[in-house]
Amino acid sequence: MSTRFDALRARLADINALTSSIAMMDWDQQTYMPPGGADARAEHVGRLSRMAHEALVSDEMRSALEGATGEASTEEEKALVRVVRRDFDLSTKIPTSLVAEKSRLAALAHEIWVKARAENDFKSFAPTLKRMFEIAGEEAEHLGYKQHIYDALLDQYEEGATAADARAMFEAVKPRQVALVKAISEAEPIDDSMLYGSWDEAKQSAYTQMLARTIGFDFERGRQDTAPHPFCTGWSVGDIRLTTRYKPYLGAAIFGTMHEAGHGMYEQGSPMKWDRTPLAGGVSLGVHESQSRLWENIVGRSRPFWEHFYPSLHQQFPELGSLSAEGFYKAVNKVEASFIRVEADELTYNLHILTRFELECDVLTGDLAVADLPEAWNSKYETYMGIRPKSDSEGVLQDVHWSGGSIGYFPTYSMGNLLSYQIWEALGKDVPNTDDLIRKGDFKPILGWLTDKIYSKGHLYTPKELILRATGKPMDPTAYLDGLERKYKEVYSL
């Protein structure tokens, strides 16, 4: 390795130490921190974030990066330079003053949003939200884009993805998904009331850890704790942290764990030689979400999965009574139009996202005023799901994202859903009889294929190139739509 690459790697390693400490503090804040620690935590994270940012945008980094760029020869070196260049550009193109204003506004906006949601008072949040959308627009202009202002924002979260990509995805998905939801709403409803109860938390913890371990999450290189909002984080290929939560709905811990374990196995699958470098880890939010959704929904909500696991689940939770494996399978696949995105089932979830994407685009292009967002939101819910929120708290005010300035983020959730089925289809061509494997509780061939094609690639390719290599085609909604229709027509006897 040449001297200039060494200089770049040394700088990156310092930045990695700082960002790792921030991730660790964030994990602690959401799992174990006592209330009294909040003020110091905010101060420490703020200072460490500033140091990490300064180290990234420094003149030293610029010249180390330029030096290394000319010397990059291997595929790995070129990928490293590309990834760091992208981070550097994203961090330097937006003026410091705008970054600072956004950061200040986000802190303020969060408090205003919490209060507005609690009091069902969109008007009190509207001016702040308007400014946040303006800032997003200014960011987009600084970042630059070819066709649509949304491109610049989406690209921050999903490299190379454009508004046209997102629109094509949603336009393909919309008619078939809306029709399927409508058909289900007219079918015999599924009763999942037996999944609500007072489930022992220690048992849920032990059972969900067993599930995560069995599908392949390595507890020698990770752990699972409890947090109000489940997440997956980490600071080394050797140290990935999952969290879960326990609710009256038994599925919350089970599928929350499967979801986060999917993220976690992706992170654990990076080559150890890339540990603590920008080459390790998931390549984008969309591809990351494809893995959490694949393990949560395609594997975890499948019939063979519960043919294998239900006996042990029933043994741990005899309160399930006379409910059979088949009954459990149906119950965890209940579809119901609902107002709250984070509580939505696999099928209606995309319609929640679609709504948000369309509204974001319209506000950014000036076709919709922020003041008119509540009405537009409610109309779309009526059109896509046949239900109309009775208040803004269960409508336009429900998500935290916009108050934090995460505008352009939502489509990555839907991309993850699509990609999960597309990747599963490709996997099925190389790994025959996945149903049989799952029914036997043998997840090694599945994890092996995913690791080989996706997890072990880290950031070596762009997200689009990775998907092309792994599945043989660009992102395509066919497998997703076909898969959902096949599954839910059977579940609901349509």
How far CA 247 is from CA of 30, 196, 253, 261, 310, in Å, comes to: 17, 8, 7, 18, 19
Are 195 and 250 spatial neighbours (Cβ–Cβ below 8 Å)?
Answer: yes
Confirm whether 158 is a catalytic residue: no
Cα–Cα distance, 482 to 215 (Å, whole number): 25
In the complex with a copy of itself, which residue's Cβ is closer, 276 or 341?
276
In the complex with a copy of itself, which residue's Cβ is closer, 40 or 179?
40
What DSSP assignment string belongs to 425-446? HHHHHHS--HHHHHHHT--HHH
Quote the least distance from Cβ 51 to a copy of itself, whole Å.
7
Q: Which residues bind a copy of itself (CB under 8 A)?
A: 13-14, 16-18, 20-22, 24-25, 28, 32-41, 43-44, 47-48, 51, 218-223, 225, 235-239, 275-276
**Residue 232, SS3 per DSSP:** strand
Are 208 and 230 spatial neighbours (Cβ–Cβ below 8 Å)?
Answer: no
Comparing C-alpha atoms, which of 286, 289, 285, 298 is closest to residue 482? Answer: 298
Quote the least distance from Cβ 235 to a copy of itself, whole Å.
6
| Token pair for 5 | 């690459």
Cα–Cα distance, 354 to 174 (Å, whole number): 8
- What does residue 304 show for φ and ψ, rounded to 5 degrees? -60, -30
In the complex with a copy of itself, which residue's Cβ is closer, 39 or 188?
39
Quote the least distance from Cβ 432 to a copy of itself, whole Å.
32
Out of 77, 260, 296, 346, the active site residue is 260
In the complex with a copy of itself, which residue's Cβ is closer, 24 or 183?
24
Strands 232-236 and 239-244: antiparallel
Helices 3-31 & 75-93, crossing angle to 10 degrees? 60
Quote the least distance from Cβ 50 to a copy of itself, whole Å.
8
In the complex with a copy of itself, which residue's Cβ is closer, 38 or 118?
38
In the complex with a copy of itself, which residue's Cβ is closer, 196 or 219?
219
Quote the least distance from Cβ 447 to a copy of itself, whole Å.
17
Give the helix/strand (H/E) hosting 226.
Answer: strand 222-226
Quote the least distance from Cβ 262 to a copy of itself, whole Å.
18
Q: Which amino acid is at 49?
A: S
Contacts of residue 177, Cβ cutoff 8 Å, sequence gap at least 6: 347, 350, 351, 481, 484
Cα–Cα distance, 111 to 272 (Å, whole number): 41
Tell me the catalytic residues. Answer: 260
